[in-house]
Structure 1
Amino acid sequence: MPWLKLLHISAVIVWCGTLLYLPTLIASATGPRQAPVLEQAHQRVLRGLFTFVVTPAALVAIASGTAIFVFMGPLTVWLIAKLAVVGLLVLSHATCGLLVLKAERGETRLAGLCAAVTVFSMAAIALVAWLVLRKPF
């Protein structure tokens, strides 16, 4: 069981860290125009990060968290609250995916939305951490 918890915590760290980093990367991709070669490279990095790092980390975090719940025991109020907040992280993840698509289409002026997604993600991550560490209910 400790290996499953280690896998879960590692995946959550990667997922949450990239949820905080990705909007900044998107905002920089939609800023002032660069050389076409650099723009294409930036788009590949955005797509690759979302497809090959953020999404697999999210899937591993959710799957390992589900396995821990199945093996460890009862459904408690704090766990239900945590799962609701994890749903907010999934919403943030999906919004980052939409921002990646908008950046690929060449839309500009995404910095404000990227900042909002970062603040939203930060709040959700802090709330999950508080719920896990305090188990207030």
Structure 2
Amino acid sequence: MLWFLVPHLIGLLFWAASLLYLPALIAGSLARENAFREPSDPFDSVARMAFTRIATPAALVAIIAGTLVFLIDHTVDVWLIAKLTLVAGLVLSHAATGLLILRAESGNGKPILGWCWVLGLVQCVLIVGIVWLVLAKPTLQVLP
């Protein structure tokens, strides 16, 4: 099990770090006083590169290795189901980050900065909730 737990933790670390960084990167790329310049092609941005080359592969590694840990260890507890629910929320926020990147690249004038804040806060809450559930492993009651 340890052979699958290590890539799961490394993938989760990279996935969470990139998800926390991407909303700030998107908001920073929209600022007028941007010190570092984006490429001239709007569909070749730094945010897109970080999303497609770091965040998405890390998410796939974390989910696949976590599934293998789950299958090998045969753990079926209520805290694990709660954790998987939060991970599903993190997957949805991952998709929302991709949509936010597309919206920022289109430059159609729709408000984006507020959504960057909301997405960043939601991702922080989800990541802290996942870490708490894994470390605390609370005994949750199932309603009959």
TM-score (norm 2): 0.87
**Aligned residue number for residue 136 of structure 1:** 138
Distance in 1 between residues matched to 2:18 and 2:126, nearest whole Å: 14
What is the identity percentage for the equivalent residue pairs of Structure 1 and Structure 2?
43
**Secondary structure at the residue paired with 1:40?**
coil
**Aligned residue number for residue 104 of structure 1:** 105
Instruction: Work out the number of aligned pairs and report it.
Output: 136
Relative CO higher for 1 or 2, CA cutoff 8 Å, sep ≥ 6? 1
Structure 1 stretch displaced more, 37-46 or 51-60 = 37-46
1:50 aligns with 2:51: yes
Distance in 1 between residues matched to 2:69 and 2:80, nearest whole Å: 12
Distance in 2 between residues matched to 1:24 and 1:34, nearest whole Å: 13
Q: Is the 8 A contact 1:89 1:121 kept in 2?
A: yes
In the alignment, structure 2 segments of 5+ residues that lack a partner are 140-144
- Residues 1-137 of structure 1 correspond to what in structure 2 (within 5 A)? 1-32=1-32, 38-40=37-39, 43-108=44-109, 109-137=111-139
Distance in 2 between residues matched to 1:39 and 1:15, nearest whole Å: 23
**Secondary structure at the residue paired with 1:121?**
helix
TM-score (norm 1): 0.91
Root mean square deviation of aligned Cα: 2.0
Question: Displaced runs of 4+ in structure 1, greater than 3 A?
Answer: none
